[in-house]
Structure 1
Amino acid sequence: MATQSPFPFLDGLFRQLSNGLKPPPWLVEEVQRRLVLMLNHVLMQEPEAQARLVRQTGRVVEARWRSFTMRLVATPAGLLDLATPSAAPDLTLTLVEESPWQLAQAAARGDKPPVRIAGDVQFAAEINWLVDHVRWDMEEDLSRLIGDAPAHAVGQGMRRITEALRKFASAAPVAGAGSSGAAGTPPPAAPAPPGPPGA
């Protein structure tokens, strides 16, 4: 007997919680400010990324997922800041996949999530370049706090965990895909072609 995936139930639970529990505005702003600080920390390690953002000074990008939105503005320093609520976005990026579990599974596989893009094409190209080329060097940041050897060990551990998650996610069935057998059972083999007559 095939068992149903728990993801639809968990997605429904997450949807009810996110609709019923609205965090206070001050908490939302504080979380967004912390996220901006982290993004700017990563951007400051990439001079090319900053140079690209300088060319987009004053432009606003709005990111959306479910009921969550965040507006960022490119600054003259080539960094990001929270945009004022009244600022009209030049570019809107909407995360199409609503399930946090599917997003986590795609991230573990190393896939980009599906995004609907509306607005300025040139700005979208610059944001896409940032997504493709800017990476956080967690090991380097950790080495400043705990030393090179422990940071390298933590980095190796994280890489192993990420690789294990990728293998698990690529082996897991994709939601909505039909399967004829139980999980882990290979599909039935195609019938062999008929042999020559008289064999």
Structure 2
Amino acid sequence: MATPSSPFSFLGDLFNTIGERLQPPDWAVHEIQNRAVLFLNHVLQQEPEAQQRLLRQQGRVVRFQWRFVTMELVATPAGLLDLAPAGSVPELTLTVTDDSPFDIARAALRGDKPAVQIIGDVQLAAEVNWLVDHVRWDVEDDLARVIGDVPAHTLGNAVRRVVGALRQFVGSRTAGKAGGSAVGPAGNAE
């Protein structure tokens, strides 16, 4: 008897098909990358230790790849990031090996990093890993600047509870599948 595929596999296949056929224009990709760099620099400016570490890596280029998306960043003399000039040779290439955006989201909800293939300078890879492990966006602080401290804290608590519940749900689903058949909400074996 054939097992029915999950709706997530259908969505993953749909994402693959659309991603392969519809490529955004170069100007749109460049603009999105510029916005991503602005956001990363905003987060980095909240962490002086991260800026010091990037300062030591100035001029070095790191390429990030996932499926058909590629972004090359260079550390600046200010301890921030910028898009690497065209034709730059990366000293480190980090390729996310998970193809499915849903698998990556599931791993993130569990608190795991996605699987990454590392090619290039090991010391630079260690610095990037430190940044990933230690630099966090303080959403609540940024939100407090717009709506005030108390509403931002209340909203932050609510979001943390929702994320905690999602992590617990994903963890229970993963543990159930690892231990054999999982029992669904109606009590039926899946």
TM-score, normalised relative to structure 2: 0.91
- What percentage of aligned pairs have identical amino acids? 58
1:141 counterpart residue number: 142
Q: Tell me the distance in 2 between the aligned counterparts of 1:173 and 1:166.
A: 10
How far the C-alpha of 1:179 sits from its partner, in A, is 3.4
Q: Deviations over 1:74-94 (max 9, x none)?
A: 000000000112001010000
SS where residue 45 of structure 1 aligns? coil
Distance 1:171 1:121, change over 3 A: same
How far the C-alpha of 1:142 sits from its partner, in A, is 0.8
1:22 counterpart residue number: 23
Q: Tell me the distance in 1 between the aligned counterparts of 2:44 and 2:182.
A: 48
How far the C-alpha of 1:181 sits from its partner, in A, is 5.9
Query: Structure 2: 5+ residue runs without aligned partners?
Result: none
1:130 counterpart residue number: 131
Query: Structure 1: 5+ residue runs without aligned partners?
Result: 188-199
Q: Tell me the distance in 2 between the aligned counterparts of 1:114 and 1:3.
A: 27
Which contiguous aligned blocks of 4+ residues in structure 1 show a shift greater than 4 angstroms? 184-187
Aligned residues: 186
Distance 1:162 1:182, change over 3 A: closer
**Bigger helix fraction:** 2
Q: Kindly name which structure, 1 or 2, has the bigger radius of gyration based on alpha carbons.
A: 1
TM-score, normalised relative to structure 1: 0.87
Q: Deviations over 1:35-82 (max 9, x none)?
A: 100100010111110000000000000000001000000000000000
Q: Tell me the distance in 2 between the aligned counterparts of 1:18 and 1:181.
A: 32
Q: Counterpart of 2:159 in structure 1: which amino acid?
A: M
Distance 1:71 1:144, change over 3 A: same
1:196 counterpart residue number: none
C-alpha RMSD of the superposition? 2.1
